[in-house]
């Protein structure tokens, strides 16, 4: 155990961890904070052993990872706390908060230096080096010949899904139809259609793909990825309330370059589709 119970009580007071919360984070913004500031996947199931609330995951994380990561995490959270508090001119609610926090950090750093390192390495968010490689791989596709590019695009998507733990499968062929791949998200299986072409995708291709989905089990969903996007008329003609969500090339590039986890992109697209019926909401509108 990295942190004594009495020190954990201070952490809970400092970071507003009552009722399952951590500061003003939502599940999405907490995941983004840990990914961007610490390159850590706080959504890893390892940290949900005691419950899935933000506070329970943070407690489990702090008691699980190595001491150096604990110190780095607490410092990052303190910096965010203070920036948020000063921006809102919010009065300090914890007596001698800064002094007590610094004393805790000193204690943890001394423990780190005088004891054998314990605790596991924190689960990386996505791996910044791998994200950079994916970005380069996506950019390089535009210089490839058309036929080779199609297969390379499918491989790129599998790499992207695998990096975010979505249990991707490579393209496969059923009798009479080609499927560009699939992945698991939540309790549902998503079949993938991937197109890299010069013209935006129209209604005919959308209807053909949706027809494939309707022939599968009721829990099957579809992700249509069109690098060149979709025609406005095609999306209108395709209609609402379908079992398909859409991404274009700008979505892919923004998600990768801004290090937005793909699972959060999909989660928000699915939620907006449920709320509006529209299969295509751009990443820049979901994450302004």
Judge contact between 64 and 119, C-beta under 8 A: yes
**What pLDDT was estimated at residue 121?**
67
Q: Which residue has the higher pLDDT, 116 or 48?
A: 48
Whether 260 and 214 share a structural domain: yes
| Predicted confidence (pLDDT) at residue 177 exceeds the cutoff of 90 | no
Cα 120 to chain centroid, rounded = 22
Average of pLDDT values for 213-227? 91
The helix/strand/coil state of 244 is strand
Question: Is residue 121, in this structure, part of any structural domain at all?
Answer: no
| Predicted confidence (pLDDT) at residue 117 exceeds the cutoff of 60 | no
The encoded tokens of residue 54 equal 């933000």
User: Which residues 6+ apart lie within 8 Å of 24 measured at CB?
Assistant: 16, 84
Whether 132 and 184 share a structural domain: yes
Q: Name the pLDDT band for 123 (thresholds 50, 70, 90).
A: low
Judge contact between 191 and 179, C-beta under 8 A: yes
Enclosing domain of residue 44? 5-114
Closest CA to 250 of 203, 209, 285: 285
| Predicted confidence (pLDDT) at residue 171 exceeds the cutoff of 80 | no
CA–CA distance, 231 with 246 (Å, rounded to integer): 12
| Predicted confidence (pLDDT) at residue 176 exceeds the cutoff of 70 | no
Residue that is last in its domain, among 64, 90, 114: 114
Residue that is last in its domain, among 60, 87, 114: 114
Residue that is last in its domain, among 51, 81, 114: 114
**What pLDDT was estimated at residue 118?**
58
Q: Which residue has the higher pLDDT, 121 or 98?
A: 98
Whether 108 and 132 share a structural domain: no
Question: Is residue 120, in this structure, part of any structural domain at all?
Answer: no
Work out the mean pLDDT of the chain and round it to a whole number.
87
Average of pLDDT values for 162-173? 76
pLDDT in tens, 35-91: 888 888 898 889 999 999 999 999 999 999 988 999 999 999 999 999 998 888 888
Phi-psi label, residue 167: left if phi above 0, alpha if psi -120 to 50, beta otherwise: left
**What pLDDT was estimated at residue 179?**
66
Q: Name the pLDDT band for 251 (thresholds 50, 70, 90).
A: very high
Q: Name the pLDDT band for 221 (thresholds 50, 70, 90).
A: very high
129-133, 189-193, 265-269, 271-275: segment of lowest average pLDDT = 129-133
Share of the chain above pLDDT 70, in %: 91
Question: Is residue 156, in this structure, part of any structural domain at all?
Answer: yes
Question: Is residue 42, in this structure, part of any structural domain at all?
Answer: yes
| Predicted confidence (pLDDT) at residue 256 exceeds the cutoff of 90 | no
- The total of structural domains in the chain comes to 2
Whether 33 and 145 share a structural domain: no
Share of the chain above pLDDT 90, in %: 48
Average of pLDDT values for 214-237? 92
| Predicted confidence (pLDDT) at residue 175 exceeds the cutoff of 60 | no
Whether 109 and 150 share a structural domain: no
């Amino acid at each position: 155990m990295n942190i004594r119970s009495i020190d954990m009580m201070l952490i809970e007071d400092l970071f507003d961890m009552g009722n399952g919360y951590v500061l003003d984070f939502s599940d999405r913004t907490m995941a983004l904070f840990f990914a961007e500031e610490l390159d850590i996947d706080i959504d890893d199931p390892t940290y949900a052993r005691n419950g899935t609330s933000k506070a329970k995951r943070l407690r489990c994380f702090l008691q699980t990872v190595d001491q150096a990561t604990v110190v780095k995490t607490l410092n990052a959270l303190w910096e965010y706390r203070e920036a948020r508090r000063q921006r809102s001119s919010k009065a300090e609610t914890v007596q001698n908060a800064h002094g007590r926090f610094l004393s805790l950090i000193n204690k943890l750093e001394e423990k780190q230096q005088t004891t054998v390192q314990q605790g596991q390495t924190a689960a990386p968010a996505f791996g910044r080096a791998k994200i950079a490689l994916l970005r380069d791989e996506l950019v390089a596709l535009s210089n490839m010949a058309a036929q080779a590019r199609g297969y390379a695009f499918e491989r790129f998507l599998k790499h992207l899904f695998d990096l975010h733990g979505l249990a991707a499968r490579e393209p496969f062929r059923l009798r009479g139809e080609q499927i560009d791949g699939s992945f698991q998200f939540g309790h549902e299986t998503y079949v993938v259609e991937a197109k890299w072409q010069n013209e935006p995708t129209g209604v005919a291709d959308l209807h053909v793909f949706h027809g494939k989905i309707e022939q599968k089990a009721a829990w099957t969903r579809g992700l249509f990825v069109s690098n060149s996007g979709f025609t406005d008329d095609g999306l209108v003609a395709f209609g609402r309330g379908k079992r398909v969500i859409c991404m274009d090339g700008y979505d892919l590039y923004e998600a990768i370059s801004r290090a937005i986890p793909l699972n959060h992109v999909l989660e928000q697209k699915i939620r907006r589709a449920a709320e509006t019926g529209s299969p295509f909401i751009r990443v820049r509108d979901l994450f302004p």
